[in-house]
Structure 1
Amino acid sequence: MPAPANGQTQAPSGTPDDSRTTAPAPEQHLPTHVLVKRLLRDHIRPYLWRLSVAVLFMAIVAAATAGNAWLMEPALDKVFIQQDLQYLYLVPVAVILLAVVKGFASYLQNTIMAEVGQRIIAETQVRMHAHLMRADLAWLHQIHTGKLISSFLYDAMLLRDAVSRALTGMVKDFLSLIFLAAVMFYQEWELSLVVCLVFPMVGLASGKLGRKTRKGAAKSQEETGRLSALLNENFDGARMVQAYGMEEAETARARQVVEDRLHHMTKVIRARSAASPATEALGGIAVGAAIFYGGLQAAEGDMTLGAFASFITALLLAYQPLKSLANLNTALQEGLSAAQRLFAVLDVEPVIRDAANAVPFAPRGGAIRLADVAFRYPDGTRALRGVTLEVPAGRRVALVGPSGAGKSTVLNLIPRFYDASTGQVLIDGQDVRGVTLASLRAGIALVSQEMTLFDTTVRANIAYGRPGASEAEIRAAAEAAAADDFITGLSDGYDTVVGENGVKLSGGQRQRIAIARAMLRDAPILLLDEATSALDTESERKVQHALKRLMQGRTTVTIAHRLSTVLDADIIYVMDQGRVVEQGDHAALLARGGLYARLYRTQFLEEAPDREMAADDPAAGPAPDGAAPNSASLDGASLDGALPAARPGLAG
């Protein structure tokens, strides 16, 4: 993307300074008909043909149910009263056939709907996962992992119930009502009109209870997310909880969240439970009226016993689907509440995405340039202020400075984890916003202090990013990262499962596997995000040796935490308050006497008493081979390797 002719850079479309934002969108309370329409479009339409077959079987079940009610008339009038032998054989056979047909149709209908419901859950979860894997990091960092997991599991389950149980159950019960009502009108249409007046009253009561259910379900699902987040924090931080004796405090916090969740769930239970008594009462009124009116008709000879029995049977059978409809409405409202939360996540479009005219990235050495780059996070925090720096192809550049200086932001702009608010980030002259994300990130390898490993084998962790790598390539990368020796010593060698985030390995071992992963990727650009900050001196020495191999022939940008990663850098950029304040190599920056020299001098003088004490202590042996006598963090650089010969340059 070329710069404007006036020499000024433009803010790209879709950056954090735009009107669009990566912050979580507020949950919109969409009307029920809108949510139902979207459910039908996004989740039900792909299975429409299977659902149509299920509806056909539902109609068969409903017709069989109505057929049983209709058979009551010939069973009483023809068999018991008139004692017609022909009907004595026909009616039982008809009852048996209806039972067989109804049972077979029920089985097929239930099987189809259960499979569709489970498939909807699976597709929704896969869709959410794919969406979140492409989401902006700034947005992901604002949502607790526990809440996302709650949506994956609990909300998806409620959505399944809304589709497979509520919506389709309503179809089945509604069809049953239609067929049974047909029998009732066939037997006595006047009485049927009176009875049917009850149906709208049931609908009104069900609607009111459904609204209460949906409101309570939304609150209880929020509390479920809070509970999931709290559990995630406590389980991950169990060591710290025990170290500080906070077991009781965390249990009390969990108890409060559980009680809040229980409070809202109780409201849902009460509203759901009220549906049955309301339907019971209204149904009782209908049955009582039918018996009274039917008795009068029978006494006057206008209705046979069989016709009355058939009518009452149809009415009593209709009572069950009517009650089910009231109960299913509450389940539907819970599902719609869950759907609203899921849609709120799925509707957040990533800002960091391919431009309409994006082209594949064509690396030509990996030279990086930031041109007058400014960056502001979505919450308004300004991280960079007109940063300009260059990383020549194949050279090694370090970023140092105090915490909050903007070092990590610079690193995150290169692979487009974020986009610059103004200015340009160019690699080999190509604006990173003008190339496809996949091709850009394929040319970059990242090794960070987080040492992310997955709960799978050592082999799979090394091959992450190159799944098709051969065994020889994986072993060669491990050997280059000084990891092969300890890997072969593991219980199952390269087939050893490392545990959650590599918990079965030491910090140094995890980091060397991460380096082997980057070596196997063989990308022209290497980003090191304080890759040795969490290691002890001996582990750091081994990892540094592996890193030097990894950096050979690659353009490397490293956030320096220890001075051992700074001393031999080709260029050191010193950052402070979002700006580059100094640049040069180690010797030149010391000689300049600026911020770098002041930080260096302060840290060096703080170490001096410790070094003198170590020198006077005869019990203190020599430092390990290749390790510095002392190590002190510079929060961006360290004093590992500080030598007295450098003292004259500190006077600056």
Structure 2
Amino acid sequence: PLMREIYRDLRESMNESPQREGEDQPPQARRYGGSRLRTPRSRFGDKPKNFTYRDLKLLLPFVKPHWRLGSIAGLIALASTLVSLLIPLSFKYLADDAVLAGNHGLLNTIILILVGAFSLIALTDFFKQIYFFRFQQEVVFSIQGRLFNKLLCLPKSFFDSNATGYLMSRVAGDVFQLQAFFSINLVDIIAKSLQLILAVVILLYLNWRLTLLSFAVLPLFVITARLLTKKTRRASRAALEKTALVSEELEERLSGAALIKAFAAEHREAQKILDTLRNAFHANRKRITITSFFALVSGLINALGLGCVLWYGASLIIEKQLTAGELLAFSVYLGFLIEPAKFLANLNIALQHSFAALERVFEIMNLVPEYEGEAGRVKASKINGGVRFDNVSFSYDKQRPALEGVSFESTTGQLIAIVGPSGAGKSTLVNLMMSLYEPCSGQIYFDGIPASHFTPQSLRERIGIVSQEIFLFNDTVKNNIRYGRTGASDEEVISAARSAGAHEFISQLPEGYQTSIGERGVMLSVGEKQRLSIARAILKDPDILILDEATSALDAATEQTVRDMLERYRRGKTVFAIAHRLSTVALSDFILVLDKGRIVQSGTHERLRNQEGLYRQLCQTQLLSLDQPAIEGQKSQNAGRILRG
């Protein structure tokens, strides 16, 4: 069965042709920047760059800072190669002039030389590995750091379209594949090239006729390597992509472990992961089969060359034209010729995997970052609270509008409530306000100045948000609260926690504000996580505060604390609240009612609840008495809800 698998893999690899546009599209194919992704090897563009030897110059910025480490390792490798080349010549004199001649003094000298040579080789190999490992780690660390920095600078739409696990594999796994290139391959390229040149010189010195016979097999290595190069590159691309898909699915299943257990779907999901793992295994098996096949062919060529040399050399000994010691030395030096030639031919095959990884690394490096083209933009040092949307429209997929013709204006000190049914466009509106996306048409103004005049990062520094999808880091309570102001004092952290109604439960934690809350705050309840998120936004002290269903999991008492905070906090600032409770809506100065991406109503709570329209319908849906004041709707936790967005 194993032989059948090997034969099938070889046959499929040899008959495989480059993938055409649109063929074998994976179900995970995404859109990014309006371009449909064409093959499993590319999610980020129409045509990934085919990496060649000339493109190795792209690595120079990462290699230059560490050239001293690489140079020292290279010199040590050269020294080791030079010493190793003396050993076969010593065997010639050992056989002809010491053993056969019965010269004990020369025998002792040659043995001491050989012991010293082998010891020196062992010592140089030790330092060579140490220096090249440091060199490799420094270079790979630089590439990985630049790649991660580039990822974080990409727009939010990029992360909407690509799973976390997949990107983790691209940052960690693909760069890891480069380690062999910067260590073993780079060492051997230098050492083997020198070894090959010197071996040719020595072989010609020993016997030029045997040397010319040896050269006859060298073209066979080159021909075999050229035949397998493209197939190895394609197999390596497929293997890397399928390995990335494994990371994607593993991350998704582990993140959703609670849901999987709730639906008793452990075995079903485990089988899905096994199927993905099997696909990755098959792809990697094909790649290994091709490289192993080349090693097999190389070994056969090597055996053919050695057999010819030994036969002809033995014939010369019989004819008294060559000594046994010379043939012994020649045979050893022949290994110094064929082995480097085989390595350099095999290098082209081995490097295809590294080149495939480099293609994927620079595919991300070449993506346009979010801040590209910021020349001329200025930093927003202060926003007085004036926000205006002027006929703003937006679509995630360039087909269905998420917002259409939205216009409104706020002033400093206002609390603006945004309500509407699910999918109305409420979260999209605040995402546009934070410059996480660019409007397809229309303009957004801050204090009368277009948002495009400011750098997106500086705008976000002046805006605070409490998102409905709460994210907390696996860190202490204190560090999570002061994430927006890392230099805040402990007193300021506690004050913000008090304002958010979080200080009491934090004080009851085992280590108080120094308590680690686990991944995504797993040690806390939903309500506690919401209060930490509110405290984090308060401590940032932004000019504009956005509350995206920020009190959905709070009890009535805590919500009252947050409402009191809003009353104090809104002075001199502007607050936008995606509201689902009437208590928050009643506090607002103005209400925007969204439906299907459009503002269908706007006004105060009193005006809208007495007016026919969507807002009145939403109130009726929540079983609220239109004759009661809105605040009385808080008698029940579920009463007073306007549909969540």
What range is the shorter-chain TM-score in?
0.7 to 0.9
Q: Does 1:603 align with 2:631?
A: no
Q: Does 1:126 align with 2:145?
A: yes
Q: Does 1:560 align with 2:568?
A: no
Q: Which amino acid aligns with 2:144?
A: Q
Alpha carbons 2:618, 2:643 under 8 Å: kept:
no
Q: State the alpha-carbon separation in 1 of the partners of residues 484 and 150 from structure 2.
A: 19
Partner of 2:288: 269
Select which of 396, 403, 410 maps to 1:377.
396
Greater Cα shift, 550-559 or 411-420 = 550-559
Partner of 1:431: 450
TM-aligned CA deviation for residue 561 of structure 1: 2.4
Gaps of 5+ in 2: 1-31, 38-42
Q: Which amino acid aligns with 2:106?
A: Y
Select which of 239, 251, 254 maps to 1:220.
239
Q: State the alpha-carbon separation in 2 of the partners of residues 113 and 201 from structure 1.
A: 32
Alpha carbons 1:512, 1:546 under 8 Å: kept:
no
TM-aligned CA deviation for residue 414 of structure 1: 1.6
Select which of 430, 435, 439 maps to 1:416.
435
Q: Does 1:58 align with 2:66?
A: no
TM-aligned CA deviation for residue 350 of structure 1: 2.5
Q: Does 1:580 align with 2:587?
A: no
Q: Does 1:505 align with 2:524?
A: yes
Greater Cα shift, 294-303 or 384-393 = 294-303
Pair 1:502–1:556, CA change in 2 (3 A) = same
Pair 1:524–1:21, CA change in 2 (3 A) = farther
Alpha carbons 1:483, 1:516 under 8 Å: kept:
yes
Q: Which amino acid aligns with 1:133?
A: L
Q: State the alpha-carbon separation in 1 of the partners of residues 597 and 159 from structure 2.
A: 23
Q: State the alpha-carbon separation in 1 of the partners of residues 362 and 412 from structure 2.
A: 45
Q: State the alpha-carbon separation in 2 of the partners of residues 604 and 624 from structure 1.
A: 13
Q: 1:527-547 deviations in whole A, cap 9, x for unaligned?
A: 111112345656645554555
Q: State the alpha-carbon separation in 2 of the partners of residues 460 and 344 from structure 1.
A: 35
Partner of 1:628: 636
Partner SS state of residue 602, structure 2? strand
Alpha carbons 2:178, 2:354 under 8 Å: kept:
yes
Alpha carbons 2:419, 2:593 under 8 Å: kept:
yes
Partner SS state of residue 643, structure 2? coil
Partner of 1:11: none
Greater Cα shift, 206-215 or 193-202 = 206-215
Alpha carbons 1:275, 1:326 under 8 Å: kept:
no
Q: How does 1:469-508 map to 2 (within 5 A)?
A: 469-508=488-527
Partner SS state of residue 617, structure 2? helix
Partner SS state of residue 377, structure 2? coil
Q: 1:535-572 deviations in whole A, cap 9, x for unaligned?
A: 56566455545555544542111212222221111111
Q: Which amino acid aligns with 2:643?
A: D
Partner of 1:524: 543
Q: How does 1:51-450 map to 2 (within 5 A)?
A: 51-84=70-103, 87-325=106-344, 328-351=347-370, 353=372, 355-450=374-469
Q: State the alpha-carbon separation in 2 of the partners of residues 442 and 417 from structure 1.
A: 13
Alpha carbons 1:22, 1:350 under 8 Å: kept:
no
Greater Cα shift, 372-381 or 291-300 = 372-381
Partner SS state of residue 328, structure 2? helix
Partner of 1:458: 477
Alpha carbons 1:448, 1:531 under 8 Å: kept:
yes
Pair 1:473–1:22, CA change in 2 (3 A) = farther
Structure 2 length as normaliser, TM-score? 0.87
Partner SS state of residue 566, structure 1? helix
Q: Which amino acid aligns with 1:485?
A: E
Q: State the alpha-carbon separation in 2 of the partners of residues 231 and 545 from structure 1.
A: 44
Q: State the alpha-carbon separation in 2 of the partners of residues 180 and 63 from structure 1.
A: 10
Q: 1:462-489 deviations in whole A, cap 9, x for unaligned?
A: 1102111112221222222221221111
Alpha carbons 2:164, 2:248 under 8 Å: kept:
yes
Q: State the alpha-carbon separation in 2 of the partners of residues 188 and 32 from structure 1.
A: 42
TM-aligned CA deviation for residue 490 of structure 1: 0.5
Alpha carbons 1:385, 1:579 under 8 Å: kept:
yes
TM-aligned CA deviation for residue 27 of structure 1: 6.4
Alpha carbons 2:153, 2:370 under 8 Å: kept:
no
TM-aligned CA deviation for residue 460 of structure 1: 0.6
Partner SS state of residue 391, structure 2? strand
Partner SS state of residue 466, structure 1? coil
Partner SS state of residue 582, structure 1? strand
Pair 1:460–1:291, CA change in 2 (3 A) = same
Partner of 2:610: 591
Partner of 1:643: none
Alpha carbons 1:374, 1:384 under 8 Å: kept:
yes
Q: Which amino acid aligns with 1:601?
A: Q
Partner SS state of residue 209, structure 1? helix
Q: State the alpha-carbon separation in 1 of the partners of residues 45 and 415 from structure 2.
A: 44
TM-aligned CA deviation for residue 578 of structure 1: 2.0
Q: 1:276-317 deviations in whole A, cap 9, x for unaligned?
A: 221111111111111122122222222222222111111134
Q: Which amino acid aligns with 2:279?
A: D
Alpha carbons 1:22, 1:136 under 8 Å: kept:
no
Greater Cα shift, 494-503 or 262-271 = 262-271
Q: State the alpha-carbon separation in 2 of the partners of residues 164 and 584 from structure 1.
A: 68
Pair 1:251–1:406, CA change in 2 (3 A) = same
Q: State the alpha-carbon separation in 2 of the partners of residues 627 and 303 from structure 1.
A: 108
Q: Which amino acid aligns with 2:176?
A: M
Partner of 1:15: none
Q: CA RMSD in A?
A: 2.7
Partner SS state of residue 141, structure 1? helix
Q: Which amino acid aligns with 1:478?
A: A
Alpha carbons 1:575, 1:582 under 8 Å: kept:
yes
TM-aligned CA deviation for residue 141 of structure 1: 0.7
Partner SS state of residue 622, structure 2? helix
Partner SS state of residue 580, structure 1? strand
Higher relative contact order (CA 8 A, sep 6+): 1
Partner SS state of residue 204, structure 1? helix
Q: Which amino acid aligns with 1:631?
A: A
What is the total number of aligned residue pairs between the two structures? Answer: 606
Q: 1:76-112 deviations in whole A, cap 9, x for unaligned?
A: 2221233445533432232233223322322222112
Q: State the alpha-carbon separation in 1 of the partners of residues 254 and 54 from structure 2.
A: 36
Alpha carbons 1:28, 1:344 under 8 Å: kept:
no
Alpha carbons 1:138, 1:378 under 8 Å: kept:
no
TM-aligned CA deviation for residue 335 of structure 1: 1.6
Q: State the alpha-carbon separation in 2 of the partners of residues 120 and 314 from structure 1.
A: 35
Q: How does 1:13-52 map to 2 (within 5 A)?
A: 24-26=43-45, 28-33=47-52, 36-38=55-57, 40-52=59-71
Q: Which amino acid aligns with 2:427?
A: S
Greater Cα shift, 545-554 or 341-350 = 545-554
TM-aligned CA deviation for residue 177 of structure 1: 2.3
Gaps of 5+ in 1: 1-17, 612-622, 638-652
Structure 1 length as normaliser, TM-score? 0.87
TM-aligned CA deviation for residue 182 of structure 1: 2.4
Partner SS state of residue 592, structure 1? coil
TM-aligned CA deviation for residue 345 of structure 1: 1.7
Alpha carbons 1:298, 1:305 under 8 Å: kept:
yes
